[in-house]
């Protein structure tokens, strides 16, 4: 995934400071710096243009989009620039009965990670197309709330939720995000495969190279290995789109539960609004609250606590 946009001078200064200790030694021509943040390579050019490249490029780009909105009231489109507007969707994996999986919450500071696998028969495709699930990433929260219950009634699924407290415990043990995601995907895929053996393919929305994915499962006793990894998989087989929608539906339910518990609005993502809410929660409940409700390895923690 590649995302490119131009930032204002004040945001450019913040980027230079933020990535100071993550810079690569060699800098491309006309670049102020090139840095590496987890799975993303960030290049800031003298012109103010910034390029995010990698599997999690959208997560990193979203933080700076939010800052542009907050400080300059500028809305930035962070669509993957590698996807041409006229590009036709690859249908080579479309008309198959498949088990697909997808996740949500990996870029959200306050909210949990939800991973879902679904089994879709090819006979279900017309039903799902009427619901427009192939546009799952573009659906609003309200549309998800209306659409997901209809899918759940018809499409078998398995979901797992990992709370932020559990995420923090795994991170302390040395598990990075890709390893946690691989373990969760493997678990829901295994359960679904046991329930629905008559599938044509198992498809995962690719978040890591296959070798990295399987390497993260070295300790797993039960493994699913015959996987087709696809980028933008929700467009290429609707089993993944269903998994995406159900994951987001459960994610929204968990968001509402947390808001009711804390009696405050909990924002998605990891931007400026998240920091503001985090500071208010620390004032009210003490900094220990972050261990329970947030992914403390995120940079938000430093900003919230003023470290």
- pLDDT for res 151: 97
Over residues 271-289, mean pLDDT: 93
Domain that holds residue 48: 2-72
Q: Note the pLDDT tens digit of each residue in 221-265.
A: 999 999 999 988 998 999 999 999 999 999 999 999 999 999 999
Over residues 127-131, mean pLDDT: 92
Mean of the per-residue pLDDT values of the chain:
91
- pLDDT for res 83: 54
Residue 183 sits in the same domain as residue 58? no
> What is the reported pTM?
0.75
Residue 123 sits in the same domain as residue 199? yes
Over residues 161-185, mean pLDDT: 95
Q: Sorting pLDDT into bands at 50, 70 and 90, what band is 156?
A: very high
Residue 22 sits in the same domain as residue 57? yes
Indicate the number of domains in the chain. Answer: 2
CATH code of the domain covering residue 140: 3.30.420.10
Contact 131, 244 (CB under 8 A): no
297: nearest Cα among 173, 213, 183, 187: 173
Residue 105 sits in the same domain as residue 250? yes
- pLDDT for res 135: 64
Residue 57 sits in the same domain as residue 125? no
Residue 139 sits in the same domain as residue 199? yes
DSSP string, 109-176: SSS-EEEEEEEE-GGGHHHHHHTTGGGGGG--HHHHHHHHHHHHHHS-EEEEEE-HHHHHHHHHTT--
Over residues 119-145, mean pLDDT: 88
Tokens of 79: 């669509």
2: nearest Cα among 63, 85, 78: 78
Contact 273, 267 (CB under 8 A): yes
C-alpha to C-alpha distance for 116 and 101, rounded to whole angstroms: 5
Q: Sorting pLDDT into bands at 50, 70 and 90, what band is 30?
A: confident
């Amino acid at each position: 995934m590649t995302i490119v946009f131009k930032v204002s001078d004040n945001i450019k200064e913040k980027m230079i400071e933020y990535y100071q200790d993550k810079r690569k030694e060699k800098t491309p021509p006309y670049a102020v710096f090139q840095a590496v943040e987890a799975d993303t390579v960030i290049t800031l050019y003298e012109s103010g243009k910034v390029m995010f490249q990698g599997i999690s490029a959208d997560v990193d780009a979203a933080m700076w989009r939010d800052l542009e909105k907050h400080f300059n009231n500028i809305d930035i489109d962070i669509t993957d620039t590698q996807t041409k507007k006229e590009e036709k969707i690859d249908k080579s994996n479309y008309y198959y009965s498949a088990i697909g999986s997808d996740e949500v919450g990996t870029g959200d500071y306050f909210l949990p990670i939800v991973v879902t696998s679904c089994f879709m028969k090819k006979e279900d495709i017309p039903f799902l197309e009427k619901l427009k699930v192939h546009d799952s990433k573009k659906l609003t929260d309200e549309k998800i709330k209306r659409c997901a219950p209809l899918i759940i009634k018809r499409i078998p699924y398995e979901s797992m939720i990992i709370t932020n407290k559990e995420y923090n415990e795994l991170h302390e043990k040395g598990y990075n995000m890709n390893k946690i995601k691989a373990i969760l995907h493997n678990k829901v895929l295994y359960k679904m495969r046991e329930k629905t053996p008559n599938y044509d393919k198992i498809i995962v929305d690719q978040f890591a190279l296959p070798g990295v994915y399987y390497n993260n499962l070295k300790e797993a006793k039960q493994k699913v290995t015959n996987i087709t990894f696809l980028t933008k998989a929700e467009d290429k087989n609707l089993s993944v789109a269903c998994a995406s929608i159900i994951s987001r539906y459960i994610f929204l339910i968990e968001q509402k539960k947390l808001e009711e518990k804390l009696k405050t609005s909990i924002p998605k993502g990891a931007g400026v609004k998240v920091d503001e809410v985090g500071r208010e929660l620390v004032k009210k409940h003490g900094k220990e609250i972050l261990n329970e409700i947030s992914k403390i390895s995120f940079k938000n923690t430093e900003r919230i606590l003023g470290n």
